[in-house]
Amino acid sequence: MLIVIPPADASTATIVLYLFVTMEFYNIFSTISGGPYEALFPELARTSRERVGLVTMKLYFGVAGAAVGLVLSGMLVDSVGLHETMIGMVIFAFACRMVGLRGVWHHVDRARPPASIALWSALTTTFRNGQFRAFLPSFVLFQAGLGMLLGVLPYYAGAVLEVESTGLWVSILSAVAIGAMLSAVPLFTRLALRRSKRDAYNLAMLAASVAFPLLAFAGFVPGIPELAQVLAVIVVVGMPLAGVYLFPTAFTADLADHDAVTTGMRREATYYGSQNFVEKSAGALTPLLLAGLLMVGNTANDPLGIRLVGPVAGLLVLIGYVLFHAYRLPDEMAPAATERRT
């Protein structure tokens, strides 16, 4: 709630600082609450096939949440206001978390003792894991790129499409992207089961790095309505999102299994907590990068900054794609880790 209630009559610099601080607090508490919850994943799904199935379900529910947060919220902001919409979003999100917590409550192992390792040692051991360092930056960079695209949509609707109801059109563009993502889920799921999660994720990252910059050129093709070009590009942008969002939870479970083999301890919470902390902390910097680009041009007469967001986001994802090539864990780490745990 605090994020959307900046100090009254504050300067731009003060509001920027306020946004950074409140986003950091949000991300820290999101990690504290979400890390232990996500750390239950390796216990609920032991094999790679089970993990692909569970992350697929997770994505479908996540898309339903995104439909509420990105599509419905835009219409609510236009009709009832930003503060009232945020109150509704907060209540809805909290209720969903409680339902999920109740669902997993009786399906986890409470008899297993916690890992006996000091916090600093746990963190240093985690970040010394080369496979973790190969995976984490790739997803963080993707999140940063996508966050920039989501943040620029209202400007894109207003300056490029030149529509008045920006909230409505942000909802429409988000809905198109979500629909495209859903259509691609079976493709990336089958690829992961037939080849590997790593190959499916690599393909999605490469496709996203190519698709994101297309937003800069939508509307320039002669003979085709500008709106049709924008919608077509949004479809192309949305499809690889499925492959990127499907597998990070499963990768982190595999990393925890690999760590259990090498250290003899189950440290899922450290891995998920570290991943979330880095991801959320870096996410707080995304609005600053977006703001810097918009300073180049953010109006219908001068949309250069808006159009540059796509190429910059694509570059971030491309760097993540290159870094991920160092990731070499096989899909089936669970059996060995399970044997060590037993």
Q: What is the pLDDT of residues 246-278, one digit of tens each?
A: 999 999 999 999 998 888 888 888 888 888 788
Closest CA to 85 of 96, 94, 74, 93: 74
Q: How far is CA 137 from CA 127, 144, 153, 209, in A?
A: 12, 10, 25, 15
Q: What is the pLDDT of residue 39?
A: 83
Q: What is the mean pLDDT of the chain?
A: 87
> Which has the higher per-residue pLDDT, 341 or 281?
281
- State the Cα–Cα distance between residues 317 and 54, nearest whole angstrom: 25
What's the token pair of residue 109?
């192992």
Taking 80 as the threshold, does the pLDDT of residue 101 lie above it? yes
Q: What is the pLDDT of residue 335?
A: 47
Q: How far is CA 106 from CA 101, 103, 333, in A?
A: 10, 7, 25
| C-beta of residue 123 within 8 angstroms of C-beta of residue 136 | no
Domain 10-104+131-341 of CATH type 2.60.120.10: no
Task: Report residue 136's pLDDT band, with 50, 70 and 90 as the boundaries.
Answer: very high
Taking 60 as the threshold, does the pLDDT of residue 110 lie above it? yes
pLDDT in tens, 189-224: 999 999 999 999 999 999 999 999 999 988 888 888
Q: How far is CA 335 from CA 40, 63, 116, 342, in A?
A: 17, 31, 23, 11
- State the Cα–Cα distance between residues 180 and 217, nearest whole angstrom: 20
Q: What is the pLDDT of residue 341?
A: 44
Kindly provide the residue ranges of all beta strands, DSSP E only, lying in the chain, ordered along the sequence: none
Taking 80 as the threshold, does the pLDDT of residue 164 lie above it? no
Q: What is the pLDDT of residue 169?
A: 84
Q: What is the pLDDT of residue 333?
A: 63
What's the token pair of residue 324?
């991920």
Contacts of 65 (CB under 8 A, 6+ apart): 93, 96
Sort residue 81 into left (φ over 0), alpha (ψ -120 to 50) or beta. Answer: left
